[in-house]
Structure 1
């Protein structure tokens, strides 16, 4: 690809969106609208009026708060006034002054309670600039406990089953508690723990920029959420103690302490249970793909596993047979000098097991190969995660140092029967993770911004897989019986990044320039050993051990240009990367050096159709190179039936990505709509080739031109129905993906098509009854594309999963809830699968003791076995899982 031609094309595209015609004029004024603390006021209506209140000129302020007005010189300057109106700010009207062409106009914030516009009893919502505030008390119901319960009911806000929060279809980038990022993106523990009574407002901050020094000096599309804490809630330490026990042999306990004030914040939670609650979800980071990926590194792969089947499409409480304990400690101190100190510590100890049967059919040209397995897996994962952070975030500079230390792993034992062959497996994995990132972003005297960043990190995940007795002797041990298998892998890695940037925020076009140097050192070590009847361990004769060394060094220069004119916002990013990669393995006479000059531009345009709605277009070109896990040539037994190797060609994938999105919100009527389409086309120089036999699957990465394309469309709507006091929503997605794969020497081009629809509804009737309904219907089709070889049938799976609940409050402080979940799965030529789960809950509030007593009855129908179908390309799967049976747990919660 010729980078010069591409740059010219993108510069033309950028200028076509951002240029504005120069009109003849005789008189004009310019100005800036800012608050008392210096924040720009965007999208305000600015007009010139004469003494008769006739409008002579009109325009809107841009994202920097600047405006330009022109009008004919036939009007006298005396008697003319400039008038500014903006929802959330006080109206301003000042006279024009002769010979003055620039005005700095201060704006005074004034919250507008949109709830009082039409209906007095409607929930209260206020808008101030780009921040939408939900009054928590307006959306709270008597049965609610935590802020997470209330968030699910707010129109436009979506809380997924894993705890991730989205606003109008877009995931939030930050979760604040009174303006402080206490939980460091692992905010699910906060929504499940913070009592709603502590929170005054939930603020949705659009176009959010977390660094104060960059606010108003760069464009942002991020959405953040802030919990505004009541003044009285920050005066004393609060918390809860929960004790629960039941049958058969169940326990569930929790102790948390909470303090939120300006100087000190804490949220510390200890938990233990065996009722099926997966405590690992409390340590999930939603927006970060990982510390390494955030810095541009490839996270070393997890090469080994003990099975080939995932978990069932059910909440963990249905199937998770566990004994778990965790500590989640989050503490933050704000010092008088602006320094913020934060510590996030996570500890997890767990033991869980999963029992299942699975059959997987692979359809070939004229043949079908079936793999079956019966497995009882006993896992013992653990986690120690420590994050220490020191930060100063001021208008003049930003300073941050983040130290992260992690140690985690898992030991798993599995008794497995595959194709009528019994075996025992033991998988052990350990992760050692360390990183430190130092970032300094000062504002210079000339108003420009300098940024420096230094990151250093280490990561390693050694794994071992032991299998007894020896299996697949024909393929692995020259047909001779043997005692067992030992597989070892490790990818110790070191990373380093130095970056410096310079931003010029003033002027019509905001400019940013960044130079970064990245260094990566990795080793891939593996051993495959077969224990012979004599007890001697011999190396697998079909391959040499891996002793692969890898280095990647790159220098990148990125120029970024941002422009806002009228209702347009445009951004053009032009990264040029010189990359140098070397890798060698003496055992395979492998010694390669490759150099690339990469150009990966990105363009974004956004048009504000109204102050509340916008249309956005995005284009990016990516050139992704493989990593060390794509190059090892020594065979690795990744699981009991998969043997994998690679070729000498480093995978490279070039992809074009386009998307068009529309976002609408009507804050007064509480209507939120989003819709979008996206298209991706990728070309790769390698393809995975699978060779299937009755007992073993071998995978080799081959040099072969390969194409993958996908098209997706989605839409969502969320509305508050005032007459019913209800929140209703509907989401739908449709997507198609075309890709190729080699199976037993045949090229099979496949089309996968999926469609899903998700309605939800929650209401409050007669102040005593609350019905709730949420469902997801999915249709997945996999078929051989035109031109494919062989007669492989099309396959389709249809699944409808709906949850219903009815809450009834017959007396004050008493709540009865009956819940049901119905699932229906069908696949052609196979029997339909149907399930209906029923749960019940009774809760009574003991005001005198400041406590709750609660009885949970789970799986009343005592369904102990669960069947499901799966579909992927030419593979169709059928699985049966053991479930938790009927349970009854009595819980007592004390509010401290």
Structure 2
């Protein structure tokens, strides 16, 4: 802890002192024509009236400003502007001084500020980063460079965030080829082929809505160096021990009318290539249905370690993916995204789970060995016409998987076999149409889909003897599940501008029909008792009128949105097995308000408030018992669940492109009231029976987040810091005792990317977190976790490097919580070619297990995961 605190405060001190460093200080105060103090005035200093900006600042609440200028010229050019006032221009001496600036009224408002520097440009709502300026010696693909850009954060799963919010679109030359599956481009597009990366703030991806509906999210656009670009990567590797292989080929082509990314990847080195096809799409408002697989059943798994899969994942994977875009004519695109994944994985570890109840603690120790077979086919065909006056987007999507899991658990008293078959199929069509009609915009949406899921779980020997076999041991139990879903959601409306206001009413209806059939077999014989069967049909219907009002001020400093959806929801559950039914009809009003204020060119504030109703899905409605896992038995013999949730949030963002400083902070509060309380009865051997009880209860949650990033140009260093704190409280029934469960969590993470010397590059990232939970005022467990990773790259020559990486992991719960890892790499780049030879020695210390721990509301888990042995891999990497 002490060394972590020292590192943290050292980084903070660098962060602060770098900002305050100055040479010539120019200060002053800005007044209006009535001698009023003007806040938010833009003050810019340059060498002369035509040169680029040297420094700039914003006047505070008292109209005061202070700017540090580094320039050797005798004179400087001062420019001061404010919305609603004329621009003040004056040549001043290059010396420390205090000025008084008076602005005269003007009928023209300042529409945008253009700030340019060598490596980062701002033009209106677009920030443009020069890739050449940030690219380091060991950066090969665009993801390597994006990690260094201030304001941008790439999470471990590959998702890209800007100012702590996920990006909504990933464009390449303004085209959305990948529909949210952008990892395949991010991890394979050569950084040499890219000229700039643009952040499109407040980006509206639908052109016809650009002047009508403002967006709160940012998008990312990749600008290439050439109009016709051939790029990509290829890798071939072999190693030991055991015998290792790695192959990867990802060719790409980008022209003005065609784009294509095709990839084939295969390895047994632990690289999880499924992340290349992960979908990060952000749904547009009102899209309530999808065709994701729902896991009704599961086998007991070992919790995965929190670091690179190449250290622990025992796999044999093959992935093929094709992404093709053809521009039929101006603004009309036809896209195909298709992928197939086949993966065999093995898990081996020991898990100790301790449950805390108001009266006792229960320990469960499991030695787990799992074989996991994944087979998944996904496809998406998109036709999009994104024109200035009309918009059409039709997507036909299918999703099929044929997964199977095998598990063997050794406990002190028995050995348990698990076998799960989990086939799934889903298909949907999503149509969105917007068309101008006179001075208004007509909208139509239709989303229709079907899913089918049949699962089969076999457990040997049988469990829950007291419930299924009068307390006597028996050989096997089998849970069968068959579920189907068909839905349609259709709406029509219009959008009309009324001066600075925009009104968007929409009328629609939706119908969803779900069926669930479950059976339990004991020793191959069907259990006939009603408590162990389900024959459910659940129908949800909705008729809604959703209206949205938006306001955007003329100078674009204010953006407001008020949504006032009114919806009649009807739920009907019919259970043929129990000959019973449940019905619920509700008229709900779910208002939502959002406001964003552009305080100045640097500062921006936002706030939101909303009310939302959530009702039970079929997954929480079945009457009969369902064996979810070998020691988990669930049923929800209770009324349809109703939850009323209030959400409030506020945030403050600062971004200074010239200083390359980005800061953000936010607070959110959620409070909900529920009519159902979930009861967990935990047996001495860890078996858990989960049921729902009709009882009013509440839940509240406070969440704080803050973060910042800064690029130090002279040091060629990027520093990023993020912190979050979460506090929650809810009621829980544990072994028939009502308890109030409180949780607190804190997380601090940071990273530094630095080119220390021409022959030495360093990269550090760290994460410190705590999680505390307890009943009412008594905490029963607190866990501290630390992760520290340091990479050093030594360049004896420009075309060679040797890297040493060290990792340290620690948790306060385990006696053996310290984990150390060391890796060595050597890379040789062949002159006048685009080929690297890399020799990697992973897990030099040959650490064979990782001790991990985490806790939840009323239990904690300590797991020991078997790791891959020390191994050497030689790869040839080609940049296409």
Q: Normalising by the residue count of structure 1, what TM-score does the alignment of the two structures yield?
A: 0.85
- Comparing 543-552 with 475-484, greater Cα deviation is found at 475-484
Other-structure match for 1:265: 259
Between the aligned partners of 1:864 and 1:669, the Cα distance in structure 2 is 46
Q: 1:55, CA displacement in angstroms? A: 5.1
SS at match of 1:317: helix
Q: 1:337, CA displacement in angstroms? A: 4.6
Do the aligned partners of 1:293 and 1:299 also contact (CA within 8 Å) in 2? no
Other-structure match for 1:476: 468
Between the aligned partners of 2:286 and 2:412, the Cα distance in structure 1 is 39
Do the aligned partners of 1:544 and 1:587 also contact (CA within 8 Å) in 2? no
Between the aligned partners of 1:238 and 1:868, the Cα distance in structure 2 is 40
- Structure 1 gaps of 5+ residues are 1-42, 59-68, 70-81, 89-111, 116-123, 787-791
Structure 1 pair 834–84 and aligned structure 2 pair: CA distance change class (3 A): closer
Other-structure match for 2:410: 417
Q: Does 1:323 align with 2:316?
A: yes
Between the aligned partners of 1:299 and 1:407, the Cα distance in structure 2 is 10
Between the aligned partners of 2:703 and 2:232, the Cα distance in structure 1 is 45
Structure 1 pair 54–875 and aligned structure 2 pair: CA distance change class (3 A): closer
Do the aligned partners of 1:359 and 1:370 also contact (CA within 8 Å) in 2? yes
> Residue by residue, what CA displacement relative to the aligned partner does 1:655-697 show, whole Å, maximum 9, x if unpaired?
1110110000000000000001111111000011111112321
Partner of residue 114 from structure 1, selected from 113, 117, 120:
117
> Residue by residue, what CA displacement relative to the aligned partner does 1:103-129 show, whole Å, maximum 9, x if unpaired?
xxxxxxxxx5323xxxxxxxx111111
Q: Does 1:87 align with 2:79?
A: no
Other-structure match for 1:584: 574
Structure 1 pair 583–85 and aligned structure 2 pair: CA distance change class (3 A): closer
Q: Does 1:811 align with 2:797?
A: yes
SS at match of 2:869: coil
> Residue by residue, what CA displacement relative to the aligned partner does 1:80-107 show, whole Å, maximum 9, x if unpaired?
xx5857433xxxxxxxxxxxxxxxxxxx
Do the aligned partners of 1:254 and 1:269 also contact (CA within 8 Å) in 2? yes
SS at match of 2:280: coil
Structure 1 pair 84–372 and aligned structure 2 pair: CA distance change class (3 A): closer
SS at match of 1:144: coil
Map 1:371-390 to 2 at 5 A: 371-390=364-383
Structure 1 pair 859–316 and aligned structure 2 pair: CA distance change class (3 A): same
> Residue by residue, what CA displacement relative to the aligned partner does 1:625-651 show, whole Å, maximum 9, x if unpaired?
011111101110100011111123001
Partner of residue 359 from structure 1, selected from 322, 330, 352:
352
Q: Tell me the number of residue pairs that the alignment of Structure 1 and Structure 2 aligns.
A: 786
Between the aligned partners of 1:280 and 1:774, the Cα distance in structure 2 is 24
Q: Does 1:761 align with 2:759?
A: no
- What is the root-mean-square deviation in Å for CA atoms of aligned residues? 2.2
Between the aligned partners of 1:626 and 1:744, the Cα distance in structure 2 is 24
Partner of residue 459 from structure 1, selected from 451, 470, 481:
451
Between the aligned partners of 1:51 and 1:874, the Cα distance in structure 2 is 65
Do the aligned partners of 1:244 and 1:892 also contact (CA within 8 Å) in 2? yes
Q: 1:774, CA displacement in angstroms? A: 0.7
Other-structure match for 2:182: 187
Q: Does 1:842 align with 2:826?
A: yes
SS at match of 2:437: coil
Map 1:26-175 to 2 at 5 A: 45=83, 47=85, 56-58=104-106, 69=107, 86-88=112-114, 112-115=115-118, 124-175=119-170
Other-structure match for 1:777: 768
Q: 1:293, CA displacement in angstroms? A: 9.1
Structure 1 pair 594–262 and aligned structure 2 pair: CA distance change class (3 A): same
Map 1:272-287 to 2 at 5 A: 272-287=266-281
Other-structure match for 2:38: none
Do the aligned partners of 2:291 and 2:399 also contact (CA within 8 Å) in 1? no
Q: 1:300, CA displacement in angstroms? A: 6.6
Between the aligned partners of 2:845 and 2:709, the Cα distance in structure 1 is 34
Q: 1:449, CA displacement in angstroms? A: 1.1
Q: Does 1:522 align with 2:501?
A: no
Other-structure match for 1:539: 527
Q: Does 1:255 align with 2:243?
A: no
Do the aligned partners of 2:530 and 2:578 also contact (CA within 8 Å) in 1? no
Other-structure match for 2:549: 561
Other-structure match for 1:549: 537
Do the aligned partners of 2:189 and 2:233 also contact (CA within 8 Å) in 1? no
- Structure 2 gaps of 5+ residues are 1-80, 91-100
Q: Does 1:440 align with 2:433?
A: yes
Q: Does 1:866 align with 2:850?
A: yes
Between the aligned partners of 1:293 and 1:471, the Cα distance in structure 2 is 43
Structure 1 pair 735–325 and aligned structure 2 pair: CA distance change class (3 A): same
Structure 1 pair 419–288 and aligned structure 2 pair: CA distance change class (3 A): farther
> Residue by residue, what CA displacement relative to the aligned partner does 1:31-73 show, whole Å, maximum 9, x if unpaired?
xxxxxxxxxxxx9945468999985424xxxxxxxxxx4xxxx
- Comparing 415-424 with 271-280, greater Cα deviation is found at 415-424
Between the aligned partners of 2:779 and 2:721, the Cα distance in structure 1 is 33
- Comparing 194-203 with 695-704, greater Cα deviation is found at 695-704
Other-structure match for 2:62: none
Do the aligned partners of 1:114 and 1:126 also contact (CA within 8 Å) in 2? yes
> Residue by residue, what CA displacement relative to the aligned partner does 1:732-788 show, whole Å, maximum 9, x if unpaired?
1111110111011101101100111112111112222111111000011111114xx
Between the aligned partners of 1:697 and 1:292, the Cα distance in structure 2 is 38
Q: Does 1:498 align with 2:490?
A: yes
Between the aligned partners of 2:109 and 2:506, the Cα distance in structure 1 is 40
Structure 1 pair 222–482 and aligned structure 2 pair: CA distance change class (3 A): same
SS at match of 2:466: helix
> Residue by residue, what CA displacement relative to the aligned partner does 1:149-181 show, whole Å, maximum 9, x if unpaired?
000011111111111111121110110000001
Between the aligned partners of 1:49 and 1:267, the Cα distance in structure 2 is 49
Do the aligned partners of 1:371 and 1:419 also contact (CA within 8 Å) in 2? no
Do the aligned partners of 2:189 and 2:231 also contact (CA within 8 Å) in 1? no
Other-structure match for 1:649: 639
Q: Normalising by the residue count of structure 2, what TM-score does the alignment of the two structures yield?
A: 0.86
Q: 1:203, CA displacement in angstroms? A: 0.3
Q: Does 1:671 align with 2:668?
A: no
Do the aligned partners of 1:292 and 1:298 also contact (CA within 8 Å) in 2? no
SS at match of 1:221: coil
Do the aligned partners of 1:265 and 1:332 also contact (CA within 8 Å) in 2? yes
SS at match of 1:610: coil
Do the aligned partners of 1:300 and 1:629 also contact (CA within 8 Å) in 2? no
Structure 1 pair 836–576 and aligned structure 2 pair: CA distance change class (3 A): same
Other-structure match for 1:21: none
Partner of residue 302 from structure 1, selected from 275, 283, 295:
295
Between the aligned partners of 1:837 and 1:224, the Cα distance in structure 2 is 37
Q: Does 1:750 align with 2:741?
A: yes
Structure 1 pair 292–545 and aligned structure 2 pair: CA distance change class (3 A): farther
Do the aligned partners of 2:129 and 2:196 also contact (CA within 8 Å) in 1? yes
Between the aligned partners of 1:542 and 1:860, the Cα distance in structure 2 is 58
Q: Does 1:632 align with 2:622?
A: yes
SS at match of 1:474: helix
Structure 1 pair 661–298 and aligned structure 2 pair: CA distance change class (3 A): farther
Q: Does 1:710 align with 2:716?
A: no
Could you list the structure 1 runs, at least 4 aligned residues long, displaced by more than 3 angstroms after superposition.
Answer: 43-56, 82-86, 237-240, 291-294, 296-301
Between the aligned partners of 1:325 and 1:292, the Cα distance in structure 2 is 36
Between the aligned partners of 1:762 and 1:54, the Cα distance in structure 2 is 44
> Residue by residue, what CA displacement relative to the aligned partner does 1:320-353 show, whole Å, maximum 9, x if unpaired?
1000010111110112353211000111000001
Other-structure match for 1:311: 304
Between the aligned partners of 1:452 and 1:478, the Cα distance in structure 2 is 58
Q: Does 1:485 align with 2:474?
A: no
Between the aligned partners of 1:697 and 1:417, the Cα distance in structure 2 is 18
Partner of residue 342 from structure 2, selected from 345, 349, 352:
349
Partner of residue 794 from structure 1, selected from 780, 793, 812:
780
